């Protein structure tokens, strides 16, 4: 429900990278900023560092994998998603930080699925139906990709998000323990949730 708000959906652009980095960090429960700090970003420029990563045309966190919601000329929300490879292999222990390992293991359990890596709405535009619109868009993109399943990962303690996904038809498939990191907002498990995709005509 858009509640009377005119929402424009378009592809992400390099010029969106600063706002996309902020929204990706919100959706990622702070893990992106932590990873960027491990890659050499200082506390003062971690978001600028993240924006430079997002504006590259390659990589999972690239702007090329995003769709954005625009309201009254302002970037109000973001969907980051793409189809996972099939098979979805787990790299060696040296390939990713420990904090990411449970997420990589869960992704590998949904090979070939259309993966919702992140969805977020800016604080000023919450409650306007933007998140629901972006989740509907994910289903359309999944169908057009030929994927049979959509997948996402959520912290079990993030009760509001988990409840929303359940209402949208997602079901729990697997879980892995969250590995704490500085500023980690949750304990418990990461949960892999999936939903059958609707094939597009």
Q: What is the value of pTM for the model shown?
A: 0.92
- pLDDT for the residue 1: 45
CB of 112 closer than 8 Å to CB of 84: yes
CA–CA gap between residue 98 and residue 100 (Å, rounded): 5
Neighbouring C-beta atoms of residue 27, cutoff 10 Å? 20
Domains of the chain as residue ranges with CATH: 8-196 (3.40.630.30)
Per-residue pLDDT of the chain (201 residues; tens, 9 = 90+): 445 678 999 999 999 999 999 999 999 999 999 999 999 888 789 999 999 999 999 999 999 999 999 999 999 999 999 999 988 776 655 568 899 999 999 999 999 999 999 999 999 998 889 999 999 999 999 999 999 999 999 999 999 899 999 999 999 999 999 999 988 888 899 999 999 998 765
């Amino acid at each position: 429900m858009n509640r009377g708000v005119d929402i424009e959906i378009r592809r992400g652009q390099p010029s969106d990278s600063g706002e996309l980095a902020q929204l990706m960090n919100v959706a990622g429960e702070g893990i992106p900023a932590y990873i960027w700090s491990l890659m050499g970003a200082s506390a003062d420029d971690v978001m600028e560092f993240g924006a430079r990563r997002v504006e590259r045309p390659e990589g999972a966190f690239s702007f090329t994998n995003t769709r954005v919601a625009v309201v009254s000329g302002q970037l109000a929300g973001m969907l980051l998603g793409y189809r996972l490879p099939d098979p979805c292999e787990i790299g060696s222990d040296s390939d990713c930080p420990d904090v990411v390992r449970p997420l990589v293991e869960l992704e590998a359990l949904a090979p070939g699925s259309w993966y919702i890596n992140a969805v977020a709405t800016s604080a000023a535009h919450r409650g306007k139906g933007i998140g629901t619109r972006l989740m509907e868009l994910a289903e359309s993109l999944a169908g057009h990709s030929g994927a049979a399943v959509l997948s996402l990962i959520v912290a079990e303690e993030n009760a509001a998000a988990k409840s929303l996904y359940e209402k949208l038809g997602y079901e729990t498939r697997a879980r892995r323990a969250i590995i704490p990191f500085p500023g980690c907002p949750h304990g418990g498990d990461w949960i892999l949730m999936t939903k059958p995709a609707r094939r597009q005509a």
